[in-house]
Amino acid sequence: MITVLFHEYFIKVEIKMTKKLILASFSPRRQELLQQVNIPFTIRRANIDESIIKVSNPIEKVKQLAVLKGNDVPLLHDDEVILSADTVVSYDQQIFEKPNDIDEARAMITALNGNIHEVFTGVMIRAKEKEILFVEKTEVQFWPLSSEEIESYIQTNEPYDKAGAYGIQSLGAMLVKQIIGDYYNVVGLPLSRVVRELRPFGIEV
């Protein structure tokens, strides 16, 4: 009589869930930053009235705006993760958002001239099972600028779709003497922190 022994082998297979990132913004800077670190995303723009947020504290303002944007965009599938953000410039207890015209741009750059100001970005990440909210701060110092330098800059198209009326990633780089903190936060998204905060949501670079 021949006895045949069969051995059973159990192999543990770890299945990695793939999540889909939804960017609740049409901001070209935020899109470029996510593309820079090879994170695929889909744009689903929030349709909100930002003027309903009346707070004057810059940290509270970017928090509330990030939440407002993030909650306005629906989660259409269980595998989606929504990323929303808002950035403001703050100096001397004033919030500088996007200037409405050349006079506002001139006033903002003149106020920041030679001084240190703060840039705050509020970020909300939301999925079906959880969400987080945080604020990143960067300090920026401008060189002392002549009136001719200010006029030359505000005559360009650059200031008018950017908080604080300048873009550090382009011509506005000429205005900046130094920064303390995350450079990308000034552009519009604290990129390295966002990458790390997305990992628990199942989104990896």
The CATH number of residue 59's host domain is 3.90.950.10
Nearest-angstrom CA–CA distance, 116 and 140: 5
Range of the domain at 26: 20-201
Closest of 86, 91, 13 to residue 46, by C-alpha: 86
Say if 11 falls within a structural domain.
Answer: no
How much is the average pLDDT of 39-49? 91
Q: Based on the structure, what is the number of domains in the chain?
A: 1
pLDDT of residue 47: 86
More confident residue, 82 or 46: 82
How much is the average pLDDT of 167-195? 97
Say if 125 falls within a structural domain.
Answer: yes
Confidence band for 13, pLDDT divided at 50, 70 and 90: very low
Confidence check: pLDDT of 40 > 50: yes
How much is the average pLDDT of 89-104? 94
Residue 72's H or E segment, with its range, is: helix 58-72
Confidence band for 18, pLDDT divided at 50, 70 and 90: confident
Say if 1 falls within a structural domain.
Answer: no
Say if 186 falls within a structural domain.
Answer: yes
Say if 5 falls within a structural domain.
Answer: no
Nearest-angstrom CA–CA distance, 58 and 88: 7
Confidence check: pLDDT of 6 > 60: no
pLDDT of residue 204: 84
Average pLDDT, the chain: 91
Bridge pairing between strands 20-23 and 80-91? parallel
Say if 24 falls within a structural domain.
Answer: yes
Which tokens belong to 167? Answer: 């873009």
Say if 2 falls within a structural domain.
Answer: no
Active site residue 92: no
Say if 169 falls within a structural domain.
Answer: yes
Confidence band for 66, pLDDT divided at 50, 70 and 90: very high
Confidence band for 58, pLDDT divided at 50, 70 and 90: very high
Confidence check: pLDDT of 33 > 80: yes
Active-site residue, selected from the candidate residues 86, 92, 101, 161: 86
How much is the average pLDDT of 89-105? 95
Check: pTM over 0.85? Answer yes or no.
yes
